[in-house]
Amino acid sequence: MGLLRRHVLAPVLSWIRALEDWLLSERRALRGLAATRILVGIGALGILLSSFPARHVAWGPGSFWAEPMRETDEFSALTGFFATDSAVVFTLEYLALIAVSVGFILGWRTRAMNVVLVLGMTGLVERTAMLGNQGDNIMRIGLTLLVFMSVAEHWSLDARRRARGRARLQAGERLSLLHRLHYGLPVLSVWWTTLLHNVLLIALASQIFILYTASALYKVQGDLWQSGTGLYYPLSLPEFGVFPALNELLTANPFLLTVMTYFSVFVQLFFAVGLLHPVTRRLFLLGVIGLHGGIAVLMGIPWFSLAMLAYDAIFVTDRSWRAIENAVRAGVRGVRRRGLPVASDADEDESPPPEGRLDGQGIRRRQTIAERRARQPAR
């Protein structure tokens, strides 16, 4: 019995405690989620801008041709917002949605922008579901989950305002609920918002794992994917021919074609397990960047690819994001020192304040799991 307790029960209990600690001690992936916010926002903005000249025919009063398909509209509560006969009214609504996506990218009143953006984008693109793609679905699902997370703790206007509010708190001022809301300071208990954030982060991660794994499972059963020529067929079609000559060049060599085809399948198939080890995690993240980058350029579906990359950003550790952040800052400083004009203001170098963390947590993060376990009091 002692053996069972020591080797089965104890590890399970300590794993549960580690999970509790993971869920409750701090909000995870704050920089990754800030990157998600920015990238998925650019994706939404990209859809809106690239279709701007075609907006009336695609979704506006010029989309009368799709009317028969609207009998089966499942999003009628939202699509109704864009159902106007007036080109002017539609354009104003469209511009408002563009403004919301910009607000979301900049992290201005982020949670409100997030809610309006997901409702607005869904209402718009589902008005003509016929022209849509799976990118619309993953954008909607991901944005929905983001509503319950903190996605503007870094690289955002909200973070600046929050810092000002926190400064007032630290100066000993007492802020009313309205003031707290104005500064974007937490109004619910930290315990609850942290838990909600982390649990929804798990939901987003699961969604991405499910997506890649299912996508790969369907591919591995296909003869054309197995024979390593799967990519040749769509890349030969004019509908995926942004640069037909490039597609032809890439598929002409059978070895290169096989490598690319197998790469597409295996990056997806092993993505979830690949994240478990620090080395393979980097390889697989570079892999999906390559995959989505290729799809974006060769097949003319850049916003779908960008949305996917946005969600993959949560798997880049906070430490890596900080390194990227520092490198960017150093680059900006270097450019400035050489006297080249850069569009930025004096606040540029002000790092966003650490959120709800104790000093020295950066050190704690670098501890190995074994060390952390050793610190835990025995039960």
Partner 1 sequence: MWPLLAVVLIHALIVGLWVAPSTAFRDAVGYDRMSEYIHPWFEQNWSLFAPTPRRGEVMFEARAYVVDGETGEGEATEWAELTAIEDSLIRGTPAPPRTMKLTRRTADDLHGARNDMSAEQRDLLSANYFRTPIEELREILEDSDGDSGAVDRYMRADEVATLIATAYADVTWGDQGEIARVQYRTSSRRVPPYSLDQDRTLEDMEPTVRDYGWRHHLELTDEQVELFAQYATTEAD
Nearer to partner 1 by Cβ, of 107 and 142: the residue is: 142
Residue 142 or 184 having the CB closest to partner 1: 142
Helices and strands in the chain: count of H runs, count of E runs? 21, 0
| Residues 278, 320: Cα–Cα separation, whole Å | 11
Shortest Cβ 217–partner 1 spacing (Å) = 6
Instruction: Give me the long-range contacts of 107-112 (CB less than 8 A, separation at least 24).
Output: 107/34, 107/37, 107/38, 107/151, 107/152, 107/155, 107/156, 107/157, 107/158, 107/159, 108/156, 108/157, 108/158, 109/158, 110/37, 110/151, 110/152, 110/156, 110/158, 111/147, 111/152
Q: Which is nearer to partner 1, 225 or 321 (CB)?
A: 225
Q: CA 355 to CA 357: how far, in whole Å?
A: 5
To the nearest whole angstrom, how small is the minimum distance from the Cβ of residue 378 to partner 1?
23
Closest contact distance (angstroms) between CB of 39 and partner 1 is 15
The least CB distance from residue 304 to partner 1, in Å, is 10
Q: How far is the CB of 379 from partner 1 (least distance, A)?
A: 18
Tell me whether residue 159 or residue 216 sits nearer to partner 1 (CB atom). 216
348 touches 63 (CB < 8 A)? no
Q: Least Å distance between CB 347 and partner 1? A: 32
Which residue, 159 or 291, is less far from partner 1 as judged by CB? 291
Nearer to partner 1, 248 or 350 (CB): 248
Alpha-carbon dihedral 61, 66, 69, 70, rounded to 10 degrees: -10
Tokens standing for residue 187? 């109004």
